């Protein structure tokens, strides 16, 4: 029986993206091919945790929650072959599926929303932060256009960018450059999410993003779960 290393499975309310507010069960796969300097789930990336669970056990825990919407997140769930079988099993049981991915890997399976979060230059760590060799590895991997194009062509998607507007317009310039190289997408499916893990920082940066979203027709993406629960696991 295939297995996946799972950092956590929990039920909460989706706090990000176009389906914010929807009751959801989150399956957080442990392991990532990037090392974002501001990563808020190091237990699924820098220091992956959790047991290797058989897929039947994951499906059982999701079924026990009794929630239709399931979010496969990480880490980077698209790295692991068993994710295809898991998603197929969940869809057979009538679940609505969101995948949270950085967009560095393409896979084909039934999915209702592909939530793609391409990593900008603001994510690149130093070797001191992430470990020797990780800066170059992260930088080479973070914006691979080929899988990004394939994902956008194959799925209903949202494109979510983590930005820090207090650092000037450098993030916006990189977003504009990237979007010009990708398949066209409705502006309302381009989401700007402020970087931060506390309510005060997020609110301050959201205020700076409001006029940018108004001007471009993009969507502001608050991190509502931080407001509701704080920066805590299992929320």
Look at residue 168 in the predicted model and tell me its pLDDT: 81
- Region 170-175 average pLDDT: 94
Pick the residue with more confidence: 105 or 168? 105
Q: What is the pLDDT of residues 138-170, one digit of tens each?
A: 999 999 999 999 999 999 999 999 999 998 888
Q: What is the pLDDT of residues 192-211, one digit of tens each?
A: 999 999 999 999 999 999 99
Could you tell me if residue 132 is inside a domain?
yes
Could you tell me if residue 82 is inside a domain?
yes
Could you tell me if residue 220 is inside a domain?
yes
Look at residue 62 in the predicted model and tell me its pLDDT: 98
Could you tell me if residue 235 is inside a domain?
no
For position 84, which CATH number holds? 3.20.20.70
166-204 burial: b if 16+ Cβ within 10 Å, else e = eeeeebbebbeebbeebeeeeeebbbbbbbbeeeeebee
Look at residue 209 in the predicted model and tell me its pLDDT: 97
Spatial separation of the C-alpha atoms in residues 159 and 15, rounded to whole Å: 15
Could you tell me if residue 218 is inside a domain?
yes
Could you tell me if residue 202 is inside a domain?
yes
Label residue 234 by pLDDT band (50, 70, 90): confident
Look at residue 235 in the predicted model and tell me its pLDDT: 83
Could you tell me if residue 234 is inside a domain?
no
How far apart, in Å, are the Cα atoms of 213 and each of 50, 67, 114?
38, 32, 21
Give me 65's structure tokens. Answer: 């929650």
**CB-based contacts of 207: which residues, under 8 Å, 6+ apart?**
none
**Host H or E run for residue 90:** helix 82-92
The packing angle between helices 55-65 and 82-92, to 10°, is 40
Spatial separation of the C-alpha atoms in residues 149 and 183, rounded to whole Å: 6
Range of the domain at 11: 3-229
What is the number of domains present in the chain? Answer: 1
Q: What is the pLDDT of residues 13-37, one digit of tens each?
A: 999 999 999 999 999 999 999 999 9
């Amino acid at each position: 029986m295939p297995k996946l290393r799972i950092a956590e499975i929990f039920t909460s309310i989706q706090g990000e993206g176009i389906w914010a507010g929807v009751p959801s069960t989150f399956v957080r796969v442990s392991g990532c091919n990037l090392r974002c300097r501001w990563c808020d789930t190091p237990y699924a990336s820098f220091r992956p945790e959790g047991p290797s669970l058989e897929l039947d056990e994951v499906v059982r825990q999701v079924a026990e929650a009794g929630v239709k919407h399931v979010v496969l997140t990480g880490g980077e769930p698209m790295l692991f072959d068993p994710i295809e079988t898991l998603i197929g099993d969940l869809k057979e049981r009538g679940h609505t599926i969101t995948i949270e991915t950085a967009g560095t890997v393409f896979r084909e399976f039934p999915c209702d929303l592909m939530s793609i979060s391409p990593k900008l230059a603001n994510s690149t760590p130093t070797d001191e932060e992430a470990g020797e060799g990780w800066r170059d590895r992260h930088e080479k991997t973070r914006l691979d256009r080929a899988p990004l194009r394939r994902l956008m062509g194959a799925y209903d998607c949202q494109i979510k960018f983590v930005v820090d507007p207090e650092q000037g317009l450098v993030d916006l310039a990189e977003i504009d450059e990237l979007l010009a190289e990708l398949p066209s997408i409705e502006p309302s499916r381009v989401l700007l999410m402020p970087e931060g893990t506390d309510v005060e920082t997020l609110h301050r940066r959201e205020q700076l993003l409001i006029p940018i979203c108004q001007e471009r027709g993009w969507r502001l993406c608050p991190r509502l779960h931080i407001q509701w629960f704080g920066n805590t696991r299992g929320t």
